[in-house]
Structure formats: structure tokens, C-alpha cells
Structure 1
Amino acid sequence: MSVNKVILVGRLGSDPELRAAPSGLQVSNLSVATNHVAYDRDGNKNESTEWHRVVFFGRQAEVAGQYLKKGSQIYVEGRLRTNKYTDKDGIVRYTTDVIGEKFQMLGGRDEGGSTGRDDGGWGARDSGRPMIDDGGGFGSGGGFEDNSRPMPGSGGGQRAQAPAPQRSAPQKSVESFDDLDDDLPF
């Protein structure tokens, strides 16, 4: 078993770069800064900033390009991807990107945290802010599903519809915990 999961909370260092791939799929690149604070033995504060390149695809890229701005605070869930390329001098280089699977806009209205309108089915969380989800993360999360990318082997961009959940009969309530001990085999 292996896990490739990244969670970031940070601020955008620039406006999102939105472009269309040759296939027409929207791609948005974000530069997200996170801070780390540590104290040395003498109690001196050492703060460092780490910059992360985050990439979103499809509807998520469009929403990020529309609502996020430089300085916006954002929560991101995704996975790491390492890319290899050769630069103009023939030197092999590597970059590590976070492939965004979900994001949530944080902060106030001025920071891009609230759109001031109905969330349009994005699956708002308890915070009342939209959680944008491509469906590729762990659990259901109730977020927006990006159907623009085909599932492997599906032959198209539409995901199968799950049948509507069936309501089960109400469970018999237990009167007390004492009743549970009577049938235990040990």
C-alpha cells in the first residue's frame, strides 16, 4: 500500500495562470506559499517560506482562475507529481508539482474566500464556502465533481450514476448497555 497525499493551507503569490491544453481542457497553475516557524536553542524565531506549484484541471481550473487572486488564502488537497525535462542547455531538470484534487477558498470576501452568491452545487461545507473537488480524493467529501476528464477505460467523460440510496428499516434501539452483556460468549 502507498499513499500520495498533500494538504496545503497558504496564500497565492500571484494571480492564477489559466490556459487551455491542446485538448481544450482548462489548466490553472497556482503558486502557493506556506510558512514554517521554528525556534533555535536560544529562543530566536526562524521563519521560512516554501513555495508550491499547484495545478488544477477542468472546472476546478476555471473556478480558480475566476475567483482566486494574489494574496488569496486557500486550502488545497492533492498529490505530488514529479516532472522531468531537459532545459535549453541540455541539462536534465526535475520539478515537483501538487496536482490539485480539491480546494477551498479561505479568508474574507476581499481575499476570494466568499463569492457572495449561491454556491451553485459545489457542495458547500459547514463554513459556507465552496469546496471544489474533482472526485479523485479520499472519501466522498460532497464536493464538486469534474466530469471533464474521462475515467480510465470508460471511453468517455461521463461517470456512471450511482443508484439512489435506499432507506433501510429503522434500527431497534437498545434500552441499556446491560442488555448487551447477556449474549456475549466470554
Structure 2
Amino acid sequence: MNGELDFDRYISDPLTVGGYKADLRLYVVVTSLHPMTVSVYRDGIVRFATSKYVGSPHHDLFGHLTNCSINKRSPFASQEKDVIGGGCKWTLRRLQRWVEESSAHGVERWDRLWAKIRSLVCLTVLPLADVVPGGVGHDSCFELFGFDVMVDCRLSRPHLIEVNCSPALGLDEPADR
């Protein structure tokens, strides 16, 4: 296995908006490892499944997968959907507004979630300082990562799905702009 670890666990209580499963694509820039300098862009993307989420069984991929490359082939991709509207993306700021407006303590819930997400990002990036010898850290160097994060339905726990070293930056929908 060469020191690599692959671990999968299905998150059975994901965040849904209007009944549609969602995950987050966060853009993270590392501009220095010594000292560690990490920025999490607050205008990430929220990606939605295009069919309503129903726990098990997992026979409807469009209800369980939030991958935009898959969902753009869904017959429901451009249709208006409850709460989320057409398409399969929101901006992260739009999700923040939705969370803040959907409950009495929405602002506090979002702030706590965002703090946990930032901690997750920092704890994930921190080991790079030990394995990257001097590459990032010079004035003209940086690294852009795409962090895919799923949040539970209570907005209490972010789960790291994967980190992309070459995140897609295409402008497919208005939320991408």
C-alpha cells in the first residue's frame, strides 16, 4: 500500500436544502509553509444532487451524488427545484444566507460550522510543512487546492471528502462566476 490509506464511509445524514443533498467545494490557497499561511476563500461553491435525497437504497445516483459532471446529465439538472432553483450549484455565501435565515440561531450555527471547516482545512494542510522541502514558501510560489466537504444535517460536523490538487475552475453556471 506504500503508506497510502483509502477510507470510505457513507455519510447517512447529509445536509439537504429543499430535500436535495449538498456538499461544498472550498478553494484553499497555501502561500507559505514556513510560516504556515493558508487562506480559505469564502466564496466557494455548494453542489447539489439533482434528485431529492432518499436515504437507502442508493439506486438513484442523481439523488446521492453531488458531482456536477454527473448531474449535468440528469434530466432534472436545469429544472426549477424546491428551494435551490434551477441548475445544481449555489455560491457558499448563498448557503450562508439560507442557514442564517432558516433558524433562530442561524448566524451562530453558521459561525460555528465555518470555524470547524477552517480547522479541518488547517489540520489537513499542516502535515505539508514536514514533507514539502522549500517548494511552497518562496515569495512567488503558491498552491491552490479544492477541498470537497460534506456537512451533516445538523450543521455540526464537516466531513472531508477529498482534496484536489488541480480543482476545476470552469464557469458552467452563474454560481461559478
Same fold, judged at TM 0.5 (above): no
* TM-score normalised by the chain length of structure 2: 0.23
Which has the larger Rg?
Answer: 1
- Structure with greater proportional strand content: 1
Q: Which has the higher contact order (CA 8 A, sep 6+)?
A: 2
TM-score (structure 1 length as normaliser): 0.23
Please state which structure has a larger fraction of its residues in helix.
2
